[in-house]
């Protein structure tokens, strides 16, 4: 994996929307967005499934009912395009303005890097679980995740880096010496 700084240089700086679906329909919305050549992201992980006596690893969504869509048109045009989809959905909105919440591209890039399904030491938790865990705000300064900010939490004799976004938390084991406190 390239360093985080290289990934940041390749991004377009367009914000993202978090789209919620119902009844585990996230892959149908993903297919709809692929047909329209829209940049989107569904956090996936490998699970082992047994079929006909053979164990195979297959990619499945980490969190059901959640798709991230990059906004590359106006808000009105993006929402109009989404309404063409046959699958019921809702876009996460700001409680005060009622406008869709925009996730900054830098945060989304960090989250996507941490959600790499090939990285084995990643755990997924709810936003509430992540917020309940005590820890300090840190920035990773060494390794392939250098530059990513989040929270460092100590548990079970080890240190875990936590990053949350749109109700999902990614937790990965890391050496505390790879982090610097940002508070």
Residue ranges matching CATH 2.30.30 in the chain: 121-183
Q: Give CATH superfamily name and number for 13-119.
A: NusG, N-terminal domain (3.30.70.940)
How far is the C-alpha of 160 from the C-alpha of 152, rounded, in Å?
6
CA 21 vs CA 8, 18, 92, 182: distances in Å? 28, 10, 11, 35
The conformation of residue 100, written as its DSSP 8-state character, comes to B
Residue 7 confidence class, pLDDT cut points 50, 70, 90: very low
- How confident is the model over 17-26, as pLDDT tens digits? 999 998 888 9
CATH architecture of 121-183: Roll (2.30)
pLDDT for the residue 138: 93
Residue ranges matching CATH 3.30.70.940 in the chain: 13-119
pLDDT above 90 covers a percentage of the chain that reads 31
Residues belonging to the chain: 183
**What pTM, to 2 d.p., does this model score?**
0.81
Sheet with 179-181, side-by-side order of all strands: 122-126, 168-173, 158-165, 149-155, 136-140, 179-181
CA dihedral 10, 14, 73, 92 (to 10 degrees): 130
Mean pLDDT of 135-157: 89
Mean pLDDT of 103-108: 91
pLDDT for the residue 140: 93
């Amino acid at each position: 994996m390239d360093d985080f700084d290289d990934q940041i240089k390749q991004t377009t700086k367009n914000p993202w929307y978090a789209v919620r679906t119902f009844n585990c329909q996230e892959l149908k919305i993903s297919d709809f967005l692929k047909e329209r050549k829209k940049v989107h992201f569904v956090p996936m992980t490998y699970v082992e499934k047994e079929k006909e006596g053979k164990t195979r690893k297959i990619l499945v969504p980490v969190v059901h009912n959640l798709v991230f869509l990059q906004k590359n048109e106006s808000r009105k045009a993006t929402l109009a395009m989404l309404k063409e989809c046959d699958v019921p959905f809702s876009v996460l909105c700001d409680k005060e303005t009622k406008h869709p919440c925009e996730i900054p591209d830098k945060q989304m890039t960090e989250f996507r890097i941490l959600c790499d399904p090939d990285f084995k030491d990643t755990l997924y938790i709810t936003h509430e679980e992540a917020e309940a865990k005590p820890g300090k705000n840190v920035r990773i300064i060494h390794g392939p995740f250098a530059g990513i900010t989040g929270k460092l939490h100590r548990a079970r004799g080890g240190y875990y880096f936590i990053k949350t976004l749109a109700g999902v938390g990614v937790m990965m084991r890391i050496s505390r010496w790879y982090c610097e406190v940002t508070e």
